[in-house]
Amino acid sequence: MPDLAILGPWLRRFLTEHIVTERNLARNTRKSYRDTFSLLLPFVSRKARKPVDRLAVSDLTSGHVLQFLAHLETDRGCSARTRNQRLAAIRAFARFIGSRDPALVEWCGHIRAIASKRSMPPPVGWLTRAEMEAMLATPDRKTRRGRSEYALLLFLYNTGARVSEATQLRVRDLQIGSQNGAHDLATLHGKGGRTRQCPLWPETERVLVDEITGRAGEDAVFVSRLGTPFTRFGVHRFIERCAAKVPELAGRTITPHVIRHTTACHLVLAGVDINTIRAWLGHVSISTTNIYAEIDLTLKANAVALCEVGQPRPARSWKEDKDLMAFLKAL
């Protein structure tokens, strides 16, 4: 079998060269692509009755891909959004092959013709100010560990940072103790290698100073009880533990991303314009940020009041200006 017909070399080039060097995709996106093919190849191998390392490009048929997508939803319990995410990785792989081998353009077209499934975005979950304050009160600040956990929770609320941005934060990324009235800042490294700076509240600055005292610039700001940098999983578990201690949050799923949504919603309620919130959260497009302008009933009620039926309408002064109407007719 010619090398060009074997799936393995194509996949290695795609994962190690194309998405890293040519497209410079974010690390989490690369991991998502890797996980997609870690699930797909064994599935196709069983269907084609071939070892994974002997699979040909032609074995990855549109029929097998559709069966794989159905398997994700029915057997693995994945949502339509996850299904579409896996399909996007497969499409990108097909486009990569099709653009480099004219003989496989038709195969590429069949794969890329698979439609995404329509999915409704999940409702945005967020906490009221009272609920957020109850979360902040859960760490025992009489202990060193409790103060560290409080610092992490307050930082997430202050900055609206993604969990990956918080776990990657280093001491050198903090500009605190500023003089001449300058703001204390945290530099966050977000998606796609983009960075942004978020101002810190005085309380956040105070607890972070206590947290990083005596550490080197390359050290992680937030560390676990074992002294190692927090992982994404560790932060998720920590937020779940805090939420479990708040009776008002019983039965609700609280994640670090809910804290991020909470920051955005509280900024909206404070009257901060949506473009500033976009920059605060590190969104590329303002359309992503617009969801926060739609979730609060208070804002919707105020909008309805502006167009309430029965309110007196302003006088149509241009109709009553007889001289102006005569002027227009005379032209």
Region 289-297: what's the mean pLDDT?
70
pLDDT at 273: 85
Ordered domains of the chain (ranges, CATH): 3-112 (1.10.150), 129-303 (1.10.443.10)
**Cβ distance 11 to 97 under 8 Å?**
no
Q: Which of 5, 105, 110 is nearest to 55 (CA)?
A: 5
The overall pTM is greater than 0.85: no
Catalytic residues: 162, 191, 257, 260, 283, 292
Query: Which segments of the chain does DSSP mark as H helices, in order?
Result: 7-13, 27-48, 62-74, 80-98, 105-112, 129-136, 144-159, 163-167, 202-212, 232-244, 256-269, 274-281, 286-289, 297-306, 317-320, 322-330
Asked if residue 178 has pLDDT above 80, the reply is no
2 band by pLDDT with thresholds 50, 70 and 90? very low
State whether residue 303 is helix, strand or coil.
helix
Read off the pLDDT of each residue in 208-233 and give the average, rounded to a whole number.
Answer: 91
Of all residues in the chain, the percent with pLDDT exceeding 70 is 85
Give the Cβ contact number of residue 299 at 10 Å. Answer: 15
Does the pLDDT of residue 179 top 60, yes or no? Answer: no
Question: CA quadruple 16, 17, 21, 23: dihedral positive or negative?
Answer: negative
pLDDT band of residue 1 (cuts 50, 70, 90) is very low
Q: Sign of the CA dihedral 190, 20, 233, 171?
A: negative
